[in-house]
Structure 1
Amino acid sequence: MSLSRIKTNDEVVVIRGKDKGKRGRVLRVLRAKNRVVVEGVNTVIRHLKRNPQNPQAGGRQERSAPIHISNVMPWSDADGKAVRVNSDGIGREKHRITSSGKVLSAAGKAKEKKAQRRKAKGSEDDE
């Protein structure tokens, strides 16, 4: 499986379209449609009808709509600009690396979950 260049909770900058230049956090990645939902970018107004299943009253709700993944680039705080990302296997793991050679993040949240499970298992063994 290839390593995605943009992941949930990444900070990105819009490089094309009506919101060009805006930065925001990725809320969702829709891989099947090659789209991302970025916080505060491409906002649309949804008109909601009042109904018993909807706990909110009806009305207008502003939300972020998906934009194509090619219209955003990852933002690197270390470089202070939008960067292109390559993947590189360092050891047994894949990393997202900027063109300047800095690692954006390790591949996936599985590593974090595994560490939490080990920590929880270790605390159970101590008892």
Structure 2
Amino acid sequence: MNHLHVKTGDTVVMLSGKDKGKQGKVLQVSPKEGKVIVEGLNMVTKHVKPRKQGDPAGIMKAESAVYACKVMAVCPKCGKATRLAHKIEGDTKTRVCKHCGASY
């Protein structure tokens, strides 16, 4: 499946896991794997070695990928987590909030 319901820049809410209920912005989408990277969520620690002089080293925090089925889009107008509907008007297909009908 190479199609995801969220896009880069969308605000999403986590549905399960240690960050359940927290919101963040989608930084990166990987449709081939079905995963997304969300800003400030699913943080992991990485041991980083300096690659060149002046690079930081040590234990760094970084966002890790999470399956897209574990996040749900948040409507910018009503602020609720919602499934996305699609509305076709002429030649354009827009994403629409199921609660308030606002388009993304």
> Do they fold alike, i.e. is TM over 0.5?
yes
Matches of 2:3 and 2:33 in 1, distance apart?
Answer: 17
Aligned position for 2:61:
62
| TM-score normalised to structure 1 length | 0.73
Structure 1: gaps (5+ residues): 105-127
Q: Per residue, is there more helix in 1 or in 2?
A: 1
Distance 1:72 1:49, change over 3 A: same
Larger deviation, residues 36-45 vs 72-81 = 72-81
Aligned position for 2:22:
22
Whether the aligned pair in 2 keeps the contact of 1:3 and 1:87 (CA below 8 Å) is: no
Question: 4+ runs of 1 displaced by more than 6 Å?
Answer: none
Whether the aligned pair in 2 keeps the contact of 1:5 and 1:96 (CA below 8 Å) is: no
Bigger relative contact order (CA 8 A; separation at least 6): 2
Post-superposition CA distance 1:34-77 (Å, at most 9, x none): 0000000000111011232x751321111110101000000113
Structure 2: gaps (5+ residues): none
Q: Supply the RMSD in Å over aligned alpha carbons.
A: 1.8
**1:6 maps to 2:6:** yes
Aligned length: 102
Aligned residue runs from structure 1 range 45-84, under 5 A: 45-52=45-52, 55-84=54-83
Residue type at the aligned position of 2:63:
S
